[in-house]
Structure 1
Amino acid sequence: MGDKVFMQGNVALAESAIRAGCKYFFGYPITPSSEVPEYYARRAEEEGLVFVQGETETAVFNMIAGAAATGNRVMTATSGPGFSLGQEAMSFMAAAGLPAVVVEVMRPGPADGEILAAQGDYFQAVKGGGHGDYNTLVLAPCSVQEMCELIQESFELAEKYRNPVILLSDALLAKMRENVELPGRKEQNCDLSWALTGCAGRKHNVMTTCGDGSAQWEKYNLDLQEKFAKIKANEERWENYQTEDADIILVAYGSMARVAIGAMKLAREAGLKVGLVRPISLWPFPVKAFEGLGDKTFLVTELSAGQMVEDVKLTVPHKENVHFYGRLGGIVPTPKEIFEQIKKLGVK
């Protein structure tokens, strides 16, 4: 780890990406992610970075696909409407095996919506917003420190599996300022024999996502599914808090996990045995986090109308024991508000 600073989430993330060796950034400004491209633009000359502001998010996503094809570390940062415009390229990058990193800073939708905190893009990130059978790794930090750590890990995972990785943030995390210990600089250390780097002295590398008959394309898809199965088996991430003796278990990710921790503390002080499961990887969803908890009562809290709650219901044996509470439009509930919902469950 490196310098200890007091920094905004977006800025700390951008600095950590630079320290991870990401020298290529293509972006289009959109609130609440705009500080990321602004920081890259400001540091470009000093750090020898390539920064391009594209004409649209559609162009930007195709730019990062092209840069990723050369084996260079590359990223963009956007928010809901911009992320929607990049979905064709996300499907293409997953099919082509391109290791790009996308920071998606969620804000309330649908449509233009608001510019405050929200978690309504869970489905789009986790289920795949583009066409076809593909998956992208999705990591959800809950602090500025974790944003710094997970952005660096995102590049490593993207290269390990040759697959896009989404770091899913929100306006609250992006704009908050916290003490953070910035990670040190990392060198890219991976096999790039597949990359399109010019074929002088070696055979051509071929990268295509066009099928050549149904049998060939089914085989191509089955190979992708084999890779996704390896990711699911190896890359679940989560944190459990006081779940061993809990009667009620909260489930929350990102900024809502911070609220849930406060609600859990209030409940414990009131004599209620409440714990928390905090998914860090949203895809693959951390099924292992729920092992041994099948007889518990669950309260899923999100800044949405209810999206991750569906994955919780698919994971636990008794979906009738899974309850939900969410807020919309950019309103973030307080720990006391969640505590009141815990009491309504009537579990002693």
Structure 2
Amino acid sequence: MASTAISLSLPTIPSSSSSSSTVKPKAFISDHRHLFVAKNSPSSSSSTTTTRRTKQISTSFKIKCSSSSSSNALPSALLFDCDGVLVDTEKDGHRVSFNDTFNEKELGVTWDVDLYGELLKIGGGKERMTAYFNKTGWPDKAPKSEEERKKFIASLHKRKTELFMALIENRLLPLRPGVAKLIDQALEKGVKIAVCSTSNEKAVSAVVSCLLGPERAEKIQIFAGDVVPRKKPDPAIYTLAANTLGVEPSSCVVVEDSAIGLAAAKAAGMTCIVTKSGYTDDEDFLNADAVFDCIGDPPEERFDLAFCASLLEKQYVS
């Protein structure tokens, strides 16, 4: 089956804008910290369009990072997406594992780089395969009944997860810059850590335990896969995380890399920082509280725990 571009019926991403007539100013820092974008309050004479202004500033601009922050100003929890945030897994991890599974099962299906980028707009691997086959036609080896097709998809996804976990266990995919640093800062200050992902729980656990190490892993709670009935952009997984951790959503800072993840975090009432990944570089992150190319390690650090705390403080500044 050819891997030509397809048009899928994708879930609608809910708006995270407030219903209030006043739009809170926010700062967005782009790749390499070269661009500052300010969100202005819409004019009373305008329609629903929000005025945006961009201003070029010096390339030497840096976020002021400091690990010192008063304990009462810190987030109650940092919630990380997995794929694209902890590890840039999609193109050379999940996509490759899907294709290896399709090849093993002799389905005649290959997802190329561009096609997989489109499929990522659908949260969840099983949902992604189902939408693709519904659109392009089911393989000849697939069952005919809907119930049997669900089992078929589940079996494909189980094998794909096994292949993906082998990549992680062999450490063929590295952590993104700054991830371990930010988690260590948070754990040192008593901030709760969780990973909230639409990926299979075993795959997410493998990333956390193998790449972050067992000492960190035992302090990190994982919410993944089918733990909630509706996946991102639905806020269910972030709402579940806040409830389970016993924290207020407004005191949580989420690190995401995609528009559907951002929509889920904002719909849950949380502050969200975007660290863009290879597949999400051109997505719309207007509603994010901050946008970076990565978290970053010194001397190329983009932000730290104190910066996360500063975003929460700005929630209460009109």
Shared fold, TM over 0.5 = no
Whose strand fraction is larger, Structure 1's or Structure 2's?
A: 1
